[in-house]
Amino acid sequence: MSAKNTIDERSYEYLIRQFETIFHSSSDGIWVCDGNGMVININRASEILNGIRAEDVIGHNIKDLVARKIFDHSVTTRVMATGLRQTVMQFIPKTGKYLLSTGTPSLTEDGRIALIVVNERDMTELNTLRQEFEKSQQVREKYRQELSDISLLELERNDIVAESAAMRRILQMALKLSHIGASNILVLGESGTGKGLLARLIHKNSARNTHPLVEINCAALPENLLEAELFGYQKGAFTGADEKGKIGLFELAQGGTLFLDEIGDMPLQLQAKLLKYLDNKEIRRVGGTRSIKVDCATIAATNKDLKTLVAEKAFRQDLYYRLNSFILQLPPLRERREDIAGLVRFYLSEANRTYNCARTISPRAMRSLQEYRFPGNVRELRNIIENGVVMSNDDQITEFILASIDEQVPGGLESFPRPATTGEGLAGKLQAYERELLLEARRRCRTTREAARQLGISQPSVVRKYKQYKID
Ligand SMILES: Nc1ncnc2c1ncn2[C@@H]1O[C@H](COP(=O)(O)OP(=O)(O)OP(=O)(O)O)[C@@H](O)[C@H]1O
């Protein structure tokens, strides 16, 4: 053997090795077929993408593989039919993947197809994203139609996040009440659910918005001071009173809206005065003898159960009936978890802007927040995010969030607050409690094994129960 031959063989072997390395290291799938569609070779990525082994397809015609339903249709047959480069989207039933396949012909000098090289790119993730995007577009469109009178822009302008159907329904009702000029609205909901925010939205969208919105917290002042604040007083009405007397909040709200927060804490005697105002639209200042006509809308709010207060004689029944003609009931955040992600994004970007930071949150922390009970509702969420931005030292506020959620549940699972359920009887309540415990375990533990250890049940039971309660 001559020296030249040895070099040629070596470089040939070297070239083959180079080709094989490139061929198999590609993360795209590659098929090589002859001009009749006979498979000559496929690379490793293609084996994975299609869920097949090379030896099962090499030497077979592509048409047989379509008949065997390995893919729904073939780009190779299109190239054979047209003699031109073709691109198709394929679905692979075995792996559930979507592949973008491009077939390129290699032609002989006389124009016949010698080889067809097919390149397959995995588009599954992109496809899923597209489907999710389309789905969310549909939901958005549905809401848009449903809420023809709620402008999304209006919500954004008011810094209100409402992605859940429940919240959007409430906002729709609130705006309707604004537009019809309802003069007497009751807003119910746990602390921090947004009762004040809703009151401001109602006022802003009503015909009264050129007049003031006056707010008072009925739980914040002792009875006599509250009375003087609300109704005002004549000069010399009581010791220490201002010499000139003082105009009350009712009069200040003339033409506008008076927001009576924590109405459930209003003392009984003042409830009687409020009822009188609602009946004849007149007030009398403390120490005054003359009635003053006042025209303002009232929005009362409370986190208390007024019916129970009525039963306990702590709230006047006639006032309760007078107030409850238009009720807006804000659900707690844990019952509209679809709002959590939007609220987190909203308050994260607000805090980043305020504190000139660029903090982010990991999907894990977001998931934990979505499963957390939020006893303090949106106010608590806002505080957690804002503190996270201020207190974290790195770009991610994940650790801070996980730690602060943990702190809210001292003593761990044992002391986890019992859920307020409306489930039927004991069985329903037990199930709701079990679900809460599982959600908590899911949030705290990285694996189902760890959750099983924590809950004291087997790992298959954890998996079964997650499935049963639809815990992702
Ligand atoms: N849907 C929402 N979108 C954006 N922010 C919200 C939303 N709901 C509430 N918030 C914010 O949460 C915080 C608490 O809301 P708000 O004071 O209105 O609650 P509340 O029910 O009146 O509470 P409380 O009963 O303690 O007075 C506020 O900072 C408010 O802006």
Question: What is the model's pLDDT at position 28?
Answer: 92
Taking alpha carbons only, the member of 41, 206, 26 closest to residue 122 is 26
Of 213, 260, 377, 379, the residue with max ligand 1 atoms within 8 A of its CB, to mutate for a pocket test, comes to 379
ipTM above threshold 0.90: yes
CA distance 331 to 193: 7
Question: What is the model's pLDDT at position 315?
Answer: 95
Q: Percent of the chain having pLDDT more than 90?
A: 54
What does pTM read for this prediction? Answer: 0.60
What are the sequence ranges of the domains in the chain? 3-126, 147-329, 334-468
What is the CATH code for 3-126?
Answer: 3.30.450.20
Q: Could you give the 3-state DSSP secondary structure of residue 108? A: coil
Cβ neighbours of 67 (radius 10 Å): 9
CATH 1.10.8.60 fits 334-468, yes or no: yes
Cα–ligand 1 centroid distance for 385 (angstroms): 14
Over 90: is that where the pLDDT of 43 sits? yes
Of 157, 161, 193, 197, the residue with max ligand 1 atoms within 8 A of its CB, to mutate for a pocket test, comes to 197
CA distance 330 to 299: 14
Cα–ligand 1 centroid distance for 195 (angstroms): 6
What CATH superfamily is the domain 147-329?
A: P-loop containing nucleotide triphosphate hydrolases (3.40.50.300)
Cα–ligand 1 centroid distance for 420 (angstroms): 21
Over 80: is that where the pLDDT of 270 sits? yes
Cα–ligand 1 centroid distance for 441 (angstroms): 29
- 70-79, 133-142, 387-396, 431-440: least confidently modelled range: 133-142
Residue with tokens 């792996």: 95
Tokens of 276: 């009188």
Q: Could you give the 3-state DSSP secondary structure of residue 404? A: helix
pLDDT in tens, 159-200: 899 989 899 889 989 988 998 999 899 999 999 999 999 999
- 19-23, 30-34, 69-73: least confidently modelled range: 69-73
Nearest CA to ligand 1 atom 8: 194
CA distance 79 to 307: 76
Cβ neighbours of 103 (radius 10 Å): 25
Report residues whose beta carbon is within 6 angstroms of any ligand 1 atom.
159-162, 189, 191-197, 261, 303, 343, 378-379, 382
Nearest CA to ligand 1 atom 29: 379
More reliable by pLDDT, 324 or 359: 359
Of 150, 190, 378, the residue with max ligand 1 atoms within 8 A of its CB, to mutate for a pocket test, comes to 378
More reliable by pLDDT, 359 or 463: 359
Cα–ligand 1 centroid distance for 285 (angstroms): 32
pLDDT band at 59 (very low <50, low <70, confident <90, very high): very high
Average pLDDT of every residue of the chain? 86
Cα–ligand 1 centroid distance for 198 (angstroms): 8
Cα–ligand 1 centroid distance for 219 (angstroms): 17
Give mean pLDDT, residues 316-320. Answer: 95
- 120-134, 320-334, 397-411: least confidently modelled range: 397-411
Nearest CA to ligand 1 atom 9: 194
pLDDT in tens, 276-313: 999 999 999 998 889 999 999 999 999 999 999 999 99
Give mean pLDDT, residues 83-96. Answer: 90
Cα–ligand 1 centroid distance for 179 (angstroms): 22
Note the residue count of the chain. 472
In this chain, the answer to whether the domains covering 3-126 and 147-329 adopt an identical fold is: no
Question: What is the model's pLDDT at position 13?
Answer: 86
- 88-92, 195-199, 306-310, 422-426: least confidently modelled range: 422-426
